[in-house]
Amino acid sequence: LIMNHVNDETGMVAVIIPAAGEGRRFGAGQPKQLTDLCGWPILAHTLSRFDQTVAVDRVVLTVPYGRIKQVREEVVEPYGFTKPCVVIEGGKTRQESVYEGFLALEEDVDLIVVHDGVRPLVRPSTIESVIAEAREHGAAIAAVPVRDTLKRVRDGVIQTTLPRDEIWQAQTPQAFLRPILAEAMAAAWREGFQGTDEAALVERTGHPVRVYHGTADNIKITSPEDLVLAEALIGATAEGNHH
Amino acid sequence: LIMNHVNDETGMVAVIIPAAGEGRRFGAGQPKQLTDLCGWPILAHTLSRFDQTVAVDRVVLTVPYGRIKQVREEVVEPYGFTKPCVVIEGGKTRQESVYEGFLALEEDVDLIVVHDGVRPLVRPSTIESVIAEAREHGAAIAAVPVRDTLKRVRDGVIQTTLPRDEIWQAQTPQAFLRPILAEAMAAAWREGFQGTDEAALVERTGHPVRVYHGTADNIKITSPEDLVLAEALIGATAEGNHH
């Protein structure tokens, strides 16, 4: 079903990859999405996963101010990716960057995927599944059930333990039919709402967002420890994109 | 202040380390707490951290049925630990194991620390701080603020995004003045309550539980990926307990 995705009945599928953070605290003097991971920049791994995904037609990368040329030369061009990839400058926040990406989409795109630039281990099968869910239901994200015990804390004192069995950790990809994301972004701008993901914007509009049970290895690289883990995971699966 | 902890004004401090899980899914045919981590069983690392902590006087390990001799020979004896360590069989659940540990405590223990056997990277400074908080306030745990976006999910649909700034991920150590933990365990038994940590038991009794801001590297090893990360973290800090 998913592998037979064809683009003549439905519109094009584009992925917006916000990668505009300068990530200066990560060290090494360059944005963390350009940091080396097993021989490739992190962002090139991410791009590769979407390049391998049949259901994805196009890619929009949003990068830090002044980095377009560098990202083209170091991420987009060297690895033989085949899907069209537009590189633009992002905004000051993730939400602004996704909006900039949205403005760069052609009119024939009717389904939009958003994916963190620093989640390089996402599986193409996860991307396909989230797209299929969004195609059917309008909005879907990858997520995993939390394993930790979570507490609501105020002024250094536990208020309550959260009911773990209903709580999921949101990941990306997150996918939306175009009018649903457009309406959600417009409402967020109008009302000054900043979300930590795109689903939060859509939830506010009342449109149901489906959850696809992803995999725990789809980690977000935000610290040097995460980078070490990502290296180990790539080594362990022996599914590297290269070699 | 903390380093000057003396035991003549207050009672003894004991740590109960539940390590009774068989962890068969972890692979390798033995409990995960006995799995090798940089040359030592995971549980020996954990024990070492408490052995290094000035404020801790005694240790109670609860281990799987039939494993007492093995744990004594492979974990407790080979590494030159100096604090008294009792090894007993645990129960069917974590909560039961902690209760078994509690029953094994001498009467002069007035402050009890509980710590996961598979959190081998805990820092002695964290243990000291949690003990100091519990000494002053009666109950305290280590925890870190969540970084992920969390969703409440029902029937595969997002109900809401949780307010991230108030949510913390509970860790261990968790420390309690003896009567507070005793009352909480008794209430849980009486009312058939199963908690995912000891703080949850105390919270139900209404006694405030303080939160000490711990460190993200105090990970719980529950999957092979966690083991890889733990190895990397030990290597990165170059603070290994041995070599």
pLDDT for B25 equals 58
Residue B213: strand pairing partners: B143
ipTM of the prediction: 0.90
d(C-alpha B116, C-alpha B97), whole Å: 11
d(C-alpha A172, C-alpha A183), whole Å: 20
pLDDT in tens, B154-205: 999 999 999 888 999 999 999 999 999 999 999 999 999 999 999 999 999 9
d(C-alpha A119, C-alpha A21), whole Å: 13
- R_g over Cα of chain A: 18
Quickly list H helices, B138-223. Answer: 178-191, 198-205
d(C-alpha A193, C-alpha B172), whole Å: 36
Q: CB of A197 within 8 Å of any CB in chain B?
A: yes
Tokens of A30: 């360059």
Q: CB of A170 within 8 Å of any CB in chain B?
A: yes
Interior/surface letters A11-24, b for 16+ CB within 10 angstroms, e for the rest: ebbbbbbbbbbebe
Kind and range of the H or E run holding A15: strand A12-18
d(C-alpha B128, C-alpha B242), whole Å: 21
Using CA atoms, how far residue B53 sits from A36, A195, B75, B239, in Å, is 38, 42, 18, 15
Closest CA to B127 of B233, B206, B135, B235: B135
Tokens of B209: 């539980």
The answer to whether the Cβ–Cβ distance between A217 and B209 falls below 8 Å is: no
pLDDT for A161 equals 96
**Confidence category of residue A229, pLDDT binned at 50, 70, 90:** confident
Minimum CA–CA partner of A172 in chain B: B149
The answer to whether the Cβ–Cβ distance between A150 and B160 falls below 8 Å is: no
Interface test with B, best of A118, A137, A154, A158 (most B CBs within 10 A): A158
The answer to whether the Cβ–Cβ distance between A158 and B229 falls below 8 Å is: no
pLDDT in tens, B37-63: 999 999 999 999 999 999 999 999 999
**Confidence category of residue B9, pLDDT binned at 50, 70, 90:** low
